Chain A
Amino acid sequence: MITKDEVEHVGWLARIEIDSADAEGYATKLNSVLEYFGQLDEVDTDGVAPTYHVADIMNVFRDDVVTDSLEQKDVLTNTDSEQDGYIKAPRIM
């Protein structure tokens, strides 16, 4: 069961502010989703190797060859806060 505190903690991990008044409602909704997926627990997986990837393929690589990067001005279109070619963020401690 997901509690209201866990909802707030996960919100903090994602740096999303969650109004305390809303947290209870989110907990209820998340629990119903988890409960739905909980049906998978009923499947007997004894002797089945863990799956790391849904596609049954391995060893996909690229050669160590340089390709074009983006232009700085195009990179900076993704932010409305820049300075001297850098992306500017609020003060971080």
Chain B
Amino acid sequence: MVYENPDGVMIGLEIHVQLNKLNTKMFCGCSTQYHNAGPNTHVCPVCLGLPGSLPVINKRAVEYAIRIGLALNCDIVEQTQFHRKNYYYPDLPKGFQTTQYDFPIASGGKVVIEGEDGEHVVRITRAHMEEDPGRLMHIGSIEKSKGTLIDYNRSGMGLIEIVSEPDMRSPKEARRFLDKLRNIMEYLDVFDSDLEGAMKVDANVSIMGGDRTEVKNISSHKGAERALLYEIMRQKNLLRRGGNVVMETRHFDEARGVTISMRTKEEEHDYRYFPEPDLVPMRVADWAPSIYEALPELPDAKRERFVSQYDMADMHAKALTSDIRVADFYELVAAVIDPRTAAAWVADVLKGELNYRDLNITSFTVDDIVEIIKLVVEGKITEKSGVQVIRTIMDEGGSPQDIVRQNGLLRVEDDIVTQAVSEVISENKDALSDYIAGKGKSLNYLVGQVMKKTNGRADARQAREMMLEAIDRINK
């Protein structure tokens, strides 16, 4: 099956990935751990743009940029430098953003996603380094705002901007691309997607017969899909009514799910890019081979390994490797539980229950799932009860043992005891004949064997009664 793309949709994305796993910002030693701190507490003369301050490049940020470039199958540039992008806005204390222009650190890569019709290649145009601006907050609603509050803690945080070619043919493909990219970044251990402002997206979108628009202010992957669905619908309606789609920048209003035209007087040449005189050029291409050597196993490779090493279905391998934390979690479970059984429980049950509650894998422990799977595999609780225990832990907390006991989830004792009784009878023909022949004491022996088989979980009187009933049936 080939995807026809009837409307000629073309989507390109620009993704800002914040390098929040660095210890310090891009050009100064301010800590990146500002997320729970008061405003303007993680700033210095450099990231406040005070006169006379001098930036110095964070070496590890450049290594991370190369790591990202290589993971996206890009070429690493021979020589590069930073530029100033000039614009005046209160979130940018220097009056310019330090970024890269004509020689991005990485270019010409690709990422393979699950497309509308199977594997689909999205080309990566470039990836470059830059800095994050500060954070603005409006006092009151945006319409009636009495002023804007500025927190510069985020100012100067290292960012990688990744630009794709317009290779995505539907909002769904755009979302898959974003998911894949986030997954790769987490495998690379360069960012934590849970932190505020970790990933921001701008999208270019066009359909056949119209110009492209740029949609800004997309802050989530779900938001990206919604913004693109809306924007494509808007463009289609416009063309159907005989209108024109004009090249413009639009703002995504997440609350209302619509895109709104933003009038901007600034054009590309208004940014007056020029080489940053406070930073010297870099020749870092010779770092690439050793960084490449040290790249961790990436999602596609891990998926293939899971299929071959653990003999699991590709569907399970895909689900388990789409988040590094899930993959690591699974491998710990598979070390003690049959890997295929573990795959089904983690990929199908646990992930499903977590997704339903919008939780991630860190809110469940390996020990708990191992204990639950063991209870099921050993026949002590049913699969259904296993699921119930997982749900209870997520919703109310507690340990598997306690939940099983408090909710009476142990498999009906009768079944286990009945099973034990018939096993004891077939394994102890002599004792049985003795009892039938009138040796009353043999009954105690037989009941004792039942107790042994059930690890003492059977009620002794009940075991005795069931044994007598069984013997009666044989004796008739």
| Interfacial residues, chain A to chain B (CB-CB below 8 A) | 12-15, 52-55, 57-70, 72, 75-76, 78, 83-93
Contacts of B266 in A (CB 8 A): 13
Which of A62, A65, A72 neighbours the largest number of chain B CB atoms within 10 Å of its CB?
A62
User: With the chains together, A76 CA to B90 CA distance in Å?
Assistant: 15
Ordered nearest first, which 4 A-B pairs have the shortest CB separation?
A67-B29, A86-B149, A61-B59, A64-B60
Contacts of B22 in A (CB 8 A): 64
Partner of A85, one of B38, B281, B284: B38
Q: Which of B154-196 contact A (CB under 8 A)?
A: none
| Interface pair A87/B149, CB less than 8 Å apart | yes
User: With the chains together, A86 CA to B42 CA distance in Å?
Assistant: 12
Contacts of B148 in A (CB 8 A): 88-92
Partner of B137, one of A57, A66, A86, A93: A86
B277 within 8 A of A: yes
User: With the chains together, A54 CA to B266 CA distance in Å?
Assistant: 30
| Interface pair B81/A53, CB less than 8 Å apart | yes
Partner of A52, one of B23, B48, B81, B146: B81
Partner of A62, one of B57, B81, B280: B57
Contacts of B358 in A (CB 8 A): none
Partner of A87, one of B42, B50, B138, B150: B150
B62 nearest in chain A by CB position: A61
B283 within 8 A of A: yes
B421 within 8 A of A: no
Contacts of A75 in B (CB 8 A): 40, 43, 48, 152
A73 nearest in chain B by CB position: B40
User: With the chains together, A5 CA to B151 CA distance in Å?
Assistant: 35
Partner of A66, one of B31, B48, B139, B284: B31
| Interface pair B90/A89, CB less than 8 Å apart | yes
Partner of B30, one of A13, A69, A85: A69
Contacts of A84 in B (CB 8 A): 39, 149
A59 vs chain B, min Cβ distance (A): 6
| Interface pair A13/B23, CB less than 8 Å apart | no
Contacts of B23 in A (CB 8 A): 64-66
| Interface pair A62/B90, CB less than 8 Å apart | no
Q: Which of B269-313 contact A (CB under 8 A)?
A: 270, 275, 277, 279-284
Partner of A60, one of B57, B61, B145: B57
A62 nearest in chain B by CB position: B56
| Interface pair B59/A62, CB less than 8 Å apart | yes
A90 vs chain B, min Cβ distance (A): 6
User: With the chains together, A12 CA to B43 CA distance in Å?
Assistant: 29
Sample of 11 A–B contacts (CB below 8 Å)? A14-B95, A52-B81, A58-B280, A58-B283, A59-B283, A69-B44, A70-B48, A72-B39, A76-B40, A89-B136, A91-B148
Contacts of A14 in B (CB 8 A): 88, 95
**Given known contacts A61-B62, A66-B24, A83-B149, what 12 new A-B pairs fall within 8 Å (CB)?**
A57-B280, A60-B56, A61-B58, A64-B22, A64-B24, A64-B58, A69-B44, A72-B41, A75-B152, A85-B40, A87-B150, A91-B138
A12 vs chain B, min Cβ distance (A): 7
Contacts of B29 in A (CB 8 A): 62, 65-68
User: With the chains together, A15 CA to B87 CA distance in Å?
Assistant: 10
| Interface pair B56/A91, CB less than 8 Å apart | no
B50 nearest in chain A by CB position: A78
Contacts of A72 in B (CB 8 A): 38-41
| Interface pair B41/A88, CB less than 8 Å apart | no
Contacts of B147 in A (CB 8 A): 83, 88-91
| Interface pair A58/B40, CB less than 8 Å apart | no
User: With the chains together, A87 CA to B136 CA distance in Å?
Assistant: 10
Which of A53, A54, A65, A69 neighbours the largest number of chain B CB atoms within 10 Å of its CB?
A69
User: With the chains together, A57 CA to B19 CA distance in Å?
Assistant: 27
| Interface pair A55/B42, CB less than 8 Å apart | no
| Interface pair A86/B284, CB less than 8 Å apart | no
Q: Which of B4-44 contact A (CB under 8 A)?
A: 22-24, 28-31, 38-44
B209 within 8 A of A: no
Which of A55, A67, A72, A87 neighbours the largest number of chain B CB atoms within 10 Å of its CB?
A87
A15 vs chain B, min Cβ distance (A): 5
B265 within 8 A of A: yes
A89 vs chain B, min Cβ distance (A): 5
Contacts of A53 in B (CB 8 A): 81, 275, 277, 280-281
A8 vs chain B, min Cβ distance (A): 12
| Interface pair A88/B149, CB less than 8 Å apart | yes
| Interface pair B280/A92, CB less than 8 Å apart | no
A46 vs chain B, min Cβ distance (A): 20
Contacts of A70 in B (CB 8 A): 43-45, 48
User: With the chains together, A83 CA to B40 CA distance in Å?
Assistant: 11
